[in-house]
Chains A and B, each alone.
Chain A
Amino acid sequence: MGGMVERRGWGLWLTHLALIAGLLIVCFPIWVAFVASTVTQPEIVRPPMPLLPGDRFVENYSAALLQGVGAPVWRMLMNSMVMALGITIGKIAISIISAYAIVYFRFPFRMVFFWLIFLTLMLPVEVRIVPTYEVVAGFGMLNSYSGLILPLIASATATFLFRQLFLTIPDELAEAARIDGAGPVRFFIDMVLPMSRTNIAALFVILFIYGWNQYLWPLLITTKPEMNTIVMGLKQIIPTSDDVANWPVIMATAMLAMLPPVLVVIFMQNLFVKGLVESEK
């Protein structure tokens, strides 16, 4: 990495100190949640809170995964996974194709379409939630994966991002491919897709987390417990009345809900960082 300033002496210690302090602040609550998910209910309730993991890991996690409140957690995890992947892949597919159309084809009202897409940035799901609900209900898509996924797929941000990327691909490259005999579809598959690889990876991470964290929309359109997502489940698992909250199981559920986005980030961080900083020319 060329642009980094090299630090020596006390500066080196100071930066590390600041980073470690920040890390502790971020990690402490997660650690506490993890510890809470491995002990018994009485141990949590009795002060002081334990700071070292207990021996109830297997019991608590299997209780969460298999029983849960309403639907078992494994079911909600699967629902969330399907929804997040559906939203991510759908968004990327739709936006890369629309950006390709807008950048490489001349058709009537091209810019009108571009600005229409751009305007939808001002209309997130929360703003159009009632009419969207009406449409989805009309199609009979309540309590279904397509109902969870489709309304969240259109993405002006991703379209815009791909458009900017495509604009940096030199025209001569498209012309060279044309002379080589590549039609629009071949050019897309052989040139545009491989050159967008890192950007697709970066978007995948961002969109997966966006999809995973959806709360309001799933809450609105899923009424059957077996269609609930994990983020909804987190809320439902905490009793509203005077019931006793089973904190170890709640915390186990929270840990499980956090796991997939964390894994996605860890395994894709290399590509993710590349996609953000590097433009392959």
Chain B
Amino acid sequence: MAEISLRGVRKSYGPTEVIHGVDCEVADGELIVIVGPSGCGKSTLLRMVAGLETISGGEVWIKGRKVNDLEPRERDIAMVFQNYALYPHMSVFDNMAYGLKIARVPRDEIRARVDKAAAMLELAPYLARKPRELSGGQRQRVAMGRAIVRNPAAFLFDEPLSNLDAKLRVQMRMEIKALQRELGVTALYVTHDQVEAMTLADRMIVMNDGRAEQIGRPLEIYDDPASTFVAGFIGSPPMNFLPDGNGLTGVRPEHLRLCAPVEGLVAGRVRFTEALGAETLAHVALDGGGIATVRLDAHAAAREGEAVGLAADPARLYRFDAGGARLRG
């Protein structure tokens, strides 16, 4: 049974519609990542599930209950915010216990649940501290602890890692995934970072301009994008697009190879290369205008300024119509 289901969810501010009907069924224990550029409506969608924004149209169901008109606390969800939103004047323990206190959970049980969550998150030594005495990563853990102790039907994450530095982000990403697996809790996770989306998601919703452009498993989406937007957004460096009649032909950087200038799909000149260690990226200025990125072996011979052709396996080409939609077959 679906744990969370979104049925034609819409949001408008006055006459302006910002979410144009999103449908998605989230299975029990699934981690769904909602990914998209800023302003695409992904946070708004999450906040509608949380109950922080009203739902203008459609229905949101959590655990078999329609929650459209329920207060956030009645929806059986917990949320982790971008800036952690810890209560600055309360200790770590009180931060985690606050929701339980309001729900009038007995004192002993609060103690037990907070201790358990703190042990799981390695926060036990910090329970008496104030949030300002903690590092960014620890604060993030407290925010997660606050969500865990409530034992909710679903976790909602709103860009929880974007305030951390790059290294910590990778580490916390793993921790979030491990924790979610261990607890088996359904989770919705909003991010603008497609790497985060690819690595975390069981399935992801790629959003653009208030629409769910594509919903699917990360590799499905990567291998079989439904539109130029999805193809360009998922994957780093992004897919190359070459003009093709009225539409576009897309090809991923790893599916291109260098060849003699006359042999390939297109010809161009290597503008510069980026040696990343494990691989080298060559940026080729195409003769017809535009730039294509080619992913090469680490020590591939590509000299800047060299005239090259770009070749690709025809099976690896994606064709899109003038509106950006995928042409199949």
Contact = CB atoms under 8 A, between A and B. Distances in A.
Chains A and B come from one and the same complex: yes
Interface of A: 170, 172-173, 175-182, 186, 190-191, 194-195, 197, 280-281
A176 B88 contact: no
B89 interface: yes
A172 B89 contact: no
Nearest to A182: B102
Nearest to A174: B85
B85 A180 contact: no
A176 B102 contact: no
B310 to A, nearest CB: 47
Interface residues of B, number: 24
Contacts of A170: 83, 85
A186 B132 CA distance: 23
A187 B87 CA distance: 11
B82 interface: yes
A281 B88 contact: yes
Nearest to A186: B102
B166 interface: no
Contacts, number: 62
B77 interface: yes
Given A178-B73, A179-B72, A179-B73, A191 B78 contact: no
B85 A176 contact: yes
The 7 A-B residue pairs with the shortest CB-CB distance in the complex, in nearest-first order: A181-B73, A180-B99, A172-B85, A176-B85, A181-B102, A194-B89, A172-B81
A281 to B, nearest CB: 6
Nearest to B73: A181
8 contacts: A170-B83, A173-B85, A175-B72, A176-B79, A176-B81, A177-B98, A178-B72, A197-B89
A132 B79 CA distance: 51
Given A178-B52, A179-B72, A180-B73, A172 B82 contact: yes
Contacts of A181: 72-73, 99, 102-103
Which of A172, A180, A191 has the most chain B CB atoms inside 10 A of its CB? A180
Nearest to B89: A194
